[in-house]
Homo-oligomer: A and B are copies of this chain.
Amino acid sequence: MINPLNNQDTSLIHRKTKTKPSRNISSYLIGRPLPTADAPHETIGKAVGLAVFASDALSSTAYATQEILVILAAAGTLAFGYVFPISIVIVGLLTIVVISYEQIIHAYPNGGGAYIVAYDNFGYFPALVAAAALLTDYILTVSVSVSSGVAQIISAYPALFEYRVPISVLCVAFIMIINLRGVREAGAAFAVPSYFFIVMMLITIGIGLFRLFNGSLTSVPNPPQMEQFGQAISGVTAFLLLHAFSSGTAALTGVEAISNGITAFKEPRSRNAGITLIWMAFILGALFLGISFITRAIQAVPSEAETVISQIARTVFNGQGILYLLVIIGTTVILILAANTAFAGFPRLSAMLAEDGFLPRQLTFRGSRLVYSYGIVSLAAVSSILIIVFQASVTRLIPLYAIGVFLSFTLAQAGMARRWWRAGKVSPQDSENKNDAGHELRYEKSWFLKMLSNGFGALCTAVVLFVFAITKFRDGAWVVLILTPIMVSIFLWIHRHYTKVAVSLSLKKYGEPPPYNIRHRVLVPISGIHQGTLAALRYARMLSEDITAVHISMEPTDTEQVRKDWEIWGRGTRLVIVDSPYRLFLEPLLDYIDEILSSRQANETITIVVPHTVQDQRIYNALHMQTAEMLRRELLSTPGVMITEVPYQIP
């Protein structure tokens, strides 16, 4: 053991603690704590990254095609012919969005997606709007995906219906704990089901296409009753197509996740994240197009009784055999796992906001497994509350969902467009032009083309956003209009507080006052004379010559006892007895201290030495008036006094 006392010669001693975190319940649950130095190892490669960040996007292929059909159904079955063309347009939009995010990933390698892009190019306000939209979205992703996954389980086992809320909350808790174990373990745990879903869907589409070309693929046998959602209209209108298109863009949700989570990837992280994004886009596009194509080929219909995926699997595999079952299981699991993407994105984004002072700073602290534990737990808590409030019903939550994503798409791409415009203005020689936020801006030869491409992307997503807002306004999208300003206000309120604290603690323009003077007045409040009080008095005598003991007299008999004891133990120290006719303790004492403070001389320091009897067990505190504690709390907010507690432990 190094004794620091031997190093008196140097004024800086650097040592390392020998404490290892103790093993407790949490280390059994989430694994042994990891040292900070392990951070570079706690990253994931492309294959695992795809599983973590793509599950949200991929899960949307399970319902996006159906969403298009539902809208088209208003114009009759003939309108179903538009499902594949619309899907192609959506994949076109996907391409534009993915190209934008590919650029974002390389331009902002520390992650943050729409928030960082908007912050860097438009300032904090649009950035906060994007952040509010995304955070809301992540929370809803968890609630909706877990609820819908559990709803699938319940359609298989209706007896579980009344337990749907606890089952959903348990699922959230399970995903939370796995994520608290660290990003590497969460990725490994959830990679298998993600890839299982991809493989099953590829098999289904592959066999479907094969049977289509050899002519053995029939229409859906015993198709479910087609249901009419919304009002029937006489023909296919432009608005209907636009509406169907915007509903289908649900397939795009989750695409932004990687841009928020770049820091989770192994170095070179921008490159790894970028390649993962492209892979994800390819798989997503292929599955979505494949499903839409086969949907049309087998004339699947939208229905609440049977999903389109189920109709496809049933038709392709000729009935509900083992392959059919595996497809359904894979779909259920991927729906629940979409939540995992939110657990990867939310904590990182909120840590970034906290770093910038818009959310409580605790969110930047990495837990024992090097993940942002506060963020993970907060996400689980809020989404569980939503599940409980909405009784795990998906339909009431879904309208809120997806608006946030398109808001962030639009802001991110508009931001990139502006960035390219700025990049065009930078002198080609001046390649080290850093702005306030420290983001590098280089001259870009093809800035105009890139600006156009991002601008076009922004326009497209803005249109979708607009259509969304109009078509889903009454279903609950208005909630977003209320929620986003509230969240932005909270961000700003938190930021104002941190700024105020930073300014009042700042050392800029701080001329340090002279050291405290030797004139030191000490007050010792006492309620009785005992070993604890005497310990406080002895300490007070060490601090100063000028000591005043103060006794607030509430019961005359107690005061008489204090007076008598003081003759024996007071050792000539001044004792002030303050009569309190109304049996108040704190108020007369604080008044007395205020009086002393008001007559204080300039070079005087005042210390209150409080004897504090400490119980060995918390429960015993209930048997004592917590006067030391109350006094301390009041004194803390009284400027100009120091509070010294002399603890006296009751063994």
Which residue in B14, B534, B539, B625 is a CB contact (below 8 Å) of A362?
B625
User: Could you say which residues of chain B place their CB within 8 Å of the CB of A595?
Assistant: 1, 3-4
Q: Does A453 contact B (CB under 8 A)?
A: no
CB <8 Å contact, A636 and B645: yes
Taken together as a complex, chains A and B put the C-alpha atoms of A443 and B539 apart, in Å, by 54
Q: Nearest B residue to A646 by beta-carbon distance?
A: B642
Q: Taking CB as reference atom, which chain B residue is nearest A559?
A: B14
Cβ proximity bits A545-572 to B, threshold 8 Å, 1 near / 0 not: 0001000101110000001011001101
Which residue of A11, A37, A543, A596 has the most chain B CB atoms within 10 A of its CB atom? A11
Residues in B neighbouring A614, C-beta threshold 8 A = 636-637
Give the number of copies in the complex.
2
Mark the stretch among A194-202, A256-264, A327-335, A616-624 that contacts chain B: A616-624
By the criterion CB–CB under 8 Å, are B542 and A518 in contact?
yes
B residues less than 8 Å from A35 (CB atoms):
581-582
- What are the residues of chain B within 8 A of A576 when measuring CB–CB? 4, 13-15
Quick check: B639 and A591 within 8 Å, CB to CB? no
Q: Do the beta carbons of B583 and A366 come within 8 Å of each other?
A: yes
Q: Given A515-B542, A548-B4: A581 and B36 within 8 A (CB)?
A: yes
Do residues A11 and B573 form an inter-chain contact, with CB atoms below 8 A?
yes
Report the separation of the CA atoms of residues A33 and B11 in the bound assembly, to the nearest whole angstrom.
58
Q: What are 24 residue pairs bridging A and B, where the CB atoms are less than 8 Å apart in the complex?
A: A4-B595, A12-B575, A14-B579, A15-B579, A16-B581, A19-B582, A21-B582, A34-B582, A366-B583, A494-B623, A505-B650, A512-B569, A516-B541, A542-B605, A612-B636, A632-B645, A637-B647, A637-B649, A638-B647, A639-B647, A642-B645, A642-B646, A643-B645, A645-B645
Binding site for B on A (CB under 8 A): 1, 3-5, 7-8, 10-21, 33-37, 360-362, 365-366, 368, 494, 497-498, 500-501, 504-507, 510, 512-513, 515-518, 520, 529-532, 534, 538-539, 541-543, 548, 552, 554-556, 563, 565-566, 569-570, 572-584, 587-588, 591-592, 595-596, 599, 605, 607, 612-614, 616, 620, 622-625, 632, 635-639, 641-651
